[in-house]
Amino acid sequence: MRRYILPLLSVVLVGTGAGLLLSPSSDPVLLTQTQVATNQPVTTLISQPTTNQSPTYAPPTQLNISVKPGDSLSAIFQSHGLDAAQSYQLLQTEHGALLNKLQPGQEIEIRYTQRDNHVHQLILRSGDATETHFSFQDNGCHSKQIALAVESNKDYREVSISRSLQQDAQAAGLSAATIQTISQILASEIDFALDLRTGDHLAVLLNRHTRNGKTVSSPTIEALAFFNNGRYFEAFRFEGESNTYYLTADGLSLQRRFLRAPLDYRRVSSRFNPNRLHPIFKTQRPHNGIDYAAPEGIPVLAAGSGRISFIGEQKGYGNVVIVDHGQSYSTLYAHLSGFAAGLQAGDDVSQGDEIAYVGQTGWATGPHLHYEFRIHGQHKNPSTVTIPYDAPLSKQELMTFLQQVAGIKRDFTSRFSTQLKSKINR
Ligand SMILES: [Zn+2]
């Protein structure tokens, strides 16, 4: 028969001043759970069955508890021999707040001194790449986080676009978060609302991080390639001294000064027809921008960083925002239903900031965003205007990157399917 040794000392438990360490509202619960714990000690999973068959009491040196729904911190502490003073000290440590946010599935290991069966260490494991150690010493309790060894596995995927990036990439096993990152990396190159074509092709090399077979963090994108309507882009991840970049094989930034489309491509429903008759004037008029048909209220993003030079109403445009990006670049967003709360002329905005919401104010027959791109006051086609590449790396970083990227690129491209290769070489 298996015998489990419990470090329960009911005499100590019932007598502790538990109210010292918990918020007042938990006091009644605590008392009940203390009683439950003393009557039915096996409320938590207790490993370490003893093999010691001698009748003398041998204190265990460690217990593993897996947190289950409904478990409370106080009950766990109380039923495993932590007194009120120790519990209080634990919660006061640098990482003590983690103990107050216990989640089912987390594991707690409690270590006891062999001599007097006192708790001397508690380890919290959350299933990610770190564990937190709480250690009792003469001068109190101290906590620290320890990084665990993580296994990294490469995972290569290809996606042939037939419906949308979202749908096709998800069907190929990519998570929504990964798809979002891919679209952000390519946001200066590809307008995912207007540019995608059937037959476009994505290749991505992921690094998946696991520990004991369990995922510990979302995968990183090591390299990606996108074949889009006759154009071809590659991006490689590089961890620089202070930033992580996605760069061309030459070390140039893919995150350029302007987004191709200043809204969330997933919400844009129809394509722009540049030859359409003006819906109100019924004649063809010069059209100085791109119209994105999109549901009323979806966020409009600053295409690039800059300063708000105008925010308000203009004839025809309705509610409009103009952003001055410096060096003679400016962008204009029209027919808006409203503006981001508190935004005023003179405010600085960063690329991707929400500045306004799609609407149909001014001369518009349905909700859409009218978007203009100007250089020296002259209108340019936002979807074809050349935006200079940034070279963000220091000379030292660039040398490191160029050394690394050669091998990564060889590994990446060696995985390409013949289908993708034939598209690139066509
Ligand atoms: Zn327009």
> What pLDDT, in 10s, does the model give residues 127-150?
777 899 999 988 889 999 998 888
- Model confidence at 264, pLDDT cuts 50, 70, 90, reads confident
Whole-number pLDDT of residue 242: 84
How do the domains of the chain map onto residue ranges?
10-147, 151-256+389-425, 265-380
Which of 3.10.450.350, 3.40.50.10860, 1.10.10.60, 3.30.70.370 would CATH assign to domain 10-147? Answer: 3.10.450.350
DSSP H or E stretch at residue 355: strand 354-357
- Taking only the tens place, the pLDDT of each residue in 159-177 is 999 988 999 999 999 999 9
C-alpha of residue 226 to centroid of ligand 1, in Å: 29
With cut-offs at 50, 70 and 90, classify the pLDDT of residue 397.
very high
Token pair belonging to 402? 């160029």
- How many angstroms separate the alpha carbon of residue 286 from the centre of ligand 1? 10
Residue 14 has pLDDT above 80, yes or no: no
**For residue 47, what pLDDT is reported?**
43
User: Is 133 within 8 Å of 121 (Cβ atoms)?
Assistant: yes
Distance 293 CA to ligand 1 centre (A): 10
DSSP annotation string for 106-172: -EEEEEE-TTT--EEEEEEE-SSSEEEEEEEETTEEEEEEEEPP-EEEEEEEEEE-SS-HHHHHHHT
Please give the distance, rounded to the nearest whole angstrom, from the Cα atom of residue 313 to the centre of ligand 1.
Answer: 16
Of 24-33, 41-50, 243-252, the one with minimum mean pLDDT is 24-33
CA distance 144 to 93: 9
Give per-residue pLDDT as tens, 305-360.
Answer: 999 999 999 999 999 999 999 889 999 999 999 999 999 999 999 999 999 999 99
Whether the predicted pLDDT of 396 surpasses 60: yes
With helix as H, strand as E and coil as C, how does 2-45 read?
Answer: CECCCCCCHHHHHHCCHHHCCCHHHHHHHHHHHHHHHHCCCCCC
CA of 239 to the centre of ligand 1 (A): 40
Distance CA 423, CA 419 (A): 6
Residue with more model confidence, 397 or 114: 397
Q: Which of 12-16, 46-50, 339-343, 405-409 has the lowest mean pLDDT?
A: 12-16
Pick the CATH number of 265-380 from 1.10.3720.10, 1.10.10.10, 3.20.20.220, 2.70.70.10: 2.70.70.10
Same fold for the domain at 10-147 and the one at 151-256+389-425? yes
What's the gap in Å between 263 CA and the centre of ligand 1? 15
CATH number of the domain at 151-256+389-425, out of 3.40.50.410, 3.40.1010.10, 3.10.450.350, 3.40.50.150?
3.10.450.350
